[in-house]
A and B are shown apart, each in its own frame.
Chain A
Amino acid sequence: MLLTSVIIVLREVLEAALIISVLLALSRIAGIRLNWVRWAIGLGVLGSVIYASNTAIVSDWFDGVGQEVINALLQISVYVCLVIFAVYFAATHKADDANKQRLQALMTVVVSLAIVREGSEIFLYLSGFVGDMTQFTPILTGGLVGAGIGISAGALVYYLLLNLKRDIIPYLSTVLLASVAAGMAGQAALLLIQADWLPSQQALWDSSQWLPEDSVSGQLLYALIGYEASPTPVQAAAYFGGFLLLLGLVALSRYRRKSHADG
């Protein structure tokens, strides 16, 4: 039980921690105050508890696949918000107060939605063991280990980004955000396949022999680049399409800002 608990908590915490770390590092370099993160985490935790408490109702929606569909919608919302944020951040060279407020609001929405999605999974998993005292210690220990690894990795990514050369940070952060966002798009596709909203297909490849998804390294890669051991063509298309779309839009936004400044 301990290992299962570690994997489930780590998977969810790591993804949220990575998004928060990258956005915090970008806030630092843009001179944006970091108080938004408290609001985002608070709203996210509250939202995840409300969402997880109403899973039974949500599951009945859309002919019994409500949970998959709503989870996919949450993932897509996080992806869309991350794209808007990355494009807006690239378009504003020197953020004035109004721009900073808009960026703060976008980051709050992104982190809150991500925590609602990730937090509700943890809450659902843990609530399944309420009252089972025999499993209490291994579940709690596993949860703490998973959360500890996830938060620690997030903290190290934050300081790693801040200790890079200042002009590299936006580029590396954008690539990191693009991989996390693409992972979200890939997961959304998987959930929609599970709900039969997208066609189920043969896996493109199967790398579970070399790197199982349920290993710690598999989970690290899952959070970082949306690693899937046996993705279907639809998932792969959602992942790579999502990745390239975000990077393309950011590059276009930078180009337009630069040509505007030169002109």
Chain B
Amino acid sequence: MRSIRTFLVVVLLATMTLVVFIAALRGYRASMSQVEALLDGQLVEMARLLDSLHPDDFAMTEAYDGRAFAFQVWVSGKLLKKSLNTPDELIAPLTPGYRDGNFSGYRWRILAQPGHTHEQWILVAQRADLRISLAEEVILEAVLPIIVSLPLAGVLIWLIVGRGLQPLRRLAQQLGSKRSDDLSPLPIAGAPAELRQVIDSTNSLFNRLALAFDREKRFAADAAHELRTPISVLKIQMYNLSRDLQRGNPNLDKLNDGIERVNHLVEQILALYRSTPEHFMANFSRLDLHALARDTISRYYDEFRSRDQQIELAGHRSFLVGDRFALETLLHNLLSNASKYTPSGGQIRVAVQSDDSGVVLCVEDSGPGIAEEEYERVFERFYRIGGDRHVSGVRGCGLGLAIVQHITELHEARIELGRSSFTSGLAVNICFPLRIDAGVGA
């Protein structure tokens, strides 16, 4: 993912560098022209000075042997005076103006200017390399600080952009650290104007979500709870009716089946809503999952025996921190599913193992199993593979594995479906992470 901070810093710094450097180059060029004009002006002054001297004065002056400047004074085509660093020949044609030329091993800027008498010509020259380096030295003094200050500007921009993005980072942290059931509003005090709208909209969304959750919870729980009483009345009426009518009446059996199914559905809906992470009032304690599995199997043993199914419990004592009621519900749902979908005479194996990483519960059966592409969907509420036309012919409400998933999430465990170790069938593996206070195999 791209970082806003990197983007802003790179783009700001690149734009600044481009603008500043191009401006500095323009400044450099303009300053160079100014300095060139100034130095050219010096040549003019020198030429005037030499022109103001009388020919007799030249005879008295000592020979000039400069490094940066050179001159020649010509009268009527004869060399009257010259600096030692010039040759005896003309260093430039006798036409007024500036030109560049080479002599004495250097490149020179030469000014040719007629003297106050028509016969006299003054030629003054300045070494081109010294002119440039002098000009460059002057201008670099101005340009260099701009270049040197850019890294500092980069650090400052990095810090300022970081500071500017702090409220956004804080908001992301607040949202990231929220628990899934925490729908409390985000604090708006002190938030910058740009984020107020975002926080307002998020808080409004949280509020609507909380109300929707509450409505859903109350509706489902109330409906399920209110249905329990008429179902109990129906059961009593059913019992009375079965006493009055002949036993084995097929209509009576169907009615009984229907009432049991409605009763199961209502109980499962209640269990589902009790186990949702948003509503679950957990009562966590240290418990032995192996012992809990043993108790649950013995409680529902008649169910397996009635279908002539073999059930086996493997593993050893494995302690974890969990909610006893929720884990009982989880085990019951897994065992009930295994029993339902395993044909008569089939096998079910429950294993509870523990190691350094945590406790693993595995429930596998020798039923028909589930196709891999269905693994995700079976956890959806009311989803049943093939609907009521499942090959097993077993009727259910499609809530069992949804409840199992809720309870798994409550315990921060991981659930995985796979093929059982029998010739066919489903294996459900639940890995409970180890908590420091649980201990292993104690």
A66 contacts the other chain (Cβ, under 8 Å)? Answer: no
Q: Mark B247-277, 1 if CB is under 8 A from A, else 0.
A: 0000000000000000000000000000000
Q: Is the CB of B7 within 8 A of A148?
A: no
B25 and A153 contacting across the interface, CB-CB below 8 Å = no
Pick from A6, A153, A159: contact of B10, CB under 8 Å: A159
B24 within 8 A of A: yes
**Among A134, A137, A156, which residue has its beta carbon within 8 angstroms of that of B11?**
A156
Q: Is B17 positioned at the interface, with any CB of A under 8 Å from its CB?
A: yes
Give B35 Cβ to nearest chain A Cβ, in Å.
13
Within the complex, what minimum Cβ distance (angstroms) separates A186 from chain B?
26
Listed by A's residue number, 14 A-B pairs whose Cβ atoms lie within 8 Å are A2-B136, A2-B140, A2-B143, A3-B29, A137-B140, A138-B133, A141-B147, A149-B17, A149-B18, A149-B21, A152-B21, A153-B14, A159-B10, A162-B2
Q: Complex formed: what's the CA distance from A215 to B29 in Å?
A: 11
Which of A3, A151, A153 is B28 in contact with, Cβ under 8 Å? A3
Verify B14–A152 contact, CB threshold 8 A: yes
A1 contacts chain B at the CB level, 8 A cutoff: yes
- Residue B15 interfacial (CB < 8 Å): yes
- A144 an interface residue at 8 Å Cβ cutoff? yes
**Closest CB of chain A to B41's CB: distance in Å?**
23
Q: How far is the CA of A137 from the CA of B139 in the complex (A)?
A: 12
List of B residues within 8 angstroms of A156 by Cβ = 11, 14-15, 18
* In the complex, B205 has a CB within 8 A of chain A: no
Q: Does B22 contact A (CB under 8 A)?
A: yes
- Judge if A84 is at the interface, Cβ distance under 8 Å: no
**Are A216's CB and B25's CB within 8 A?**
yes
What's the nearest-Cβ distance from chain A to residue B395, in Å? Answer: 45
Knowing that A138-B136, A159-B7, A159-B11 touch, tell me 7 more A-B residue pairs with CB under 8 angstroms.
A1-B132, A1-B136, A2-B136, A141-B147, A149-B22, A152-B21, A155-B14
Q: Return the CB mask of A140-154 against B: 1 if under 8 Å, else 0.
A: 010011001101110
**Contact between chains at A145 and B147 (CB < 8 Å):** yes
User: In whole Å, how far is A33's beta carbon from the nearest beta carbon of chain B?
Assistant: 13
Q: In the complex, what residue of chain B is closest to A138 when comparing beta carbons?
A: B136
User: Which chain B residues lie closer than 8 Å to A159 at the CB level?
Assistant: 7, 10-11
Q: Which residues of A contact B18 (CB under 8 A)?
A: 149, 152-153, 156
Q: Does B144 contact A (CB under 8 A)?
A: yes
Pair A141/B15 contact, Cβ less than 8 Å: no
Q: How far is the CA of A155 from the CA of B28 in the complex (A)?
A: 25
Tell me whether A3 and B25 are in contact in the complex, defined as CB-CB below 8 angstroms, given that A134-B133, A156-B11, A159-B7 are known contacts: yes
Q: Name the contact of A141 in the complex, choosing from B17, B132, B140 (C-beta under 8 A).
A: B140
B144 and A148 form a contact (CB under 8 A): no
In contact, B25 and A6 (Cβ under 8 angstroms) = yes
Name the one of B11, B29, B132, B147 contacting A144, with C-beta atoms under 8 angstroms: B147
Interchain nearest-CB distance for B239 vs A (Å): 65
Chain A residues within 8 Å of B29, by CB: 3
Residue of A nearest to B133 (CB): A134
Q: Which of B139-197 contact A (CB under 8 A)?
A: 139-140, 143-144, 147, 150
Give the distance in Å from the alpha carbon of A134 to the alpha carbon of B133 in the complex.
8
A238–B210 CA distance with the chains assembled, in angstroms: 69
B 108-150 contacts with A by CB, 8 A? 132-133, 136, 139-140, 143-144, 147, 150
Residues of B within 8 A of A134 (CB): 133
Residues of A within 8 A of B147 (CB): 141, 144-145, 148
Cα A153 to Cα B18 in complex, Å, equals 7
Query: A-facing mask of B34-65, CB < 8 A → 1, else 0?
Result: 00000000000000000000000000000000
A1 contact set on B, CB distance < 8 A: 132, 136
Q: Out of B2, B21, B132, B139, which one reaches A148, CB within 8 Å? A: B21
Residue-wise interface mask of A (146-190) relative to B, using a CB-CB cutoff of 8 A (1 in contact, 0 not): 001101110110010010000000000000000000000000000
Chain A residue nearest to B150 (CB atoms) is A148
In the complex formed, the residue of A with least CB distance to B10 is A155
Chain A residues contacting B144 (CB-CB under 8 Å) are: 137, 141
Per-residue B-contact encoding for A65-89, CB less than 8 Å = 1, 0 else = 0000000000000000000000000
Contacts of A149 in B (CB 8 A): 17-18, 21-22
CA distance A152 to B150 in the complex (A): 12
Q: 9 closest pairs, A vs B, by CB? A: A152-B14, A155-B14, A152-B17, A152-B18, A148-B17, A145-B21, A149-B21, A156-B14, A138-B136
Q: Closest B-chain residue to A157, C-beta based?
A: B14
A134 to B140, CA, bound (A): 13
**What is the CB-to-nearest-CB distance from A223 to chain B, in angstroms, rounded to a whole number?**
14
CA distance A108 to B157 in the complex (A): 31
CB distance from B384 to the nearest CB of A (A): 36
Report chain B residues within 8 Å CB of A152. Answer: 13-15, 17-18, 21
Q: Whole-angstrom distance from the CB of B19 to the nearest CB of chain A? A: 9
* A152 CB → nearest B CB, Å: 4
Q: Mark A1-12, 1 if CB is under 8 A from B, else 0.
A: 111001000000
Docked pose: A156 CA to B140 CA in angstroms: 27
Residues of B within 8 A of A155 (CB): 10-11, 14
Chain B residue at smallest Cβ distance from A134 = B133
Residue numbers in B under 8 Å from A141 (CB-CB): 140, 143-144, 147
Instruction: Indicate with 1 or 0, residue by residue over A208-224, a CB within 8 angstroms of chain B CB atoms.
Output: 00000000100000000
Measured CB to CB, the closest approach of chain B to A162, in angstroms, equals: 7
Q: A141–B141 Cα gap in the complex (Å)?
A: 11
Give every chain A residue within 8 A of B21 (Cβ-Cβ).
145, 148-149, 152
Interface pair A145/B24, CB less than 8 Å apart: yes
| Complex interface: chain A residues within 8 A of B133 (CB) | 134, 138
Contacts of A6 in B (CB 8 A): 25
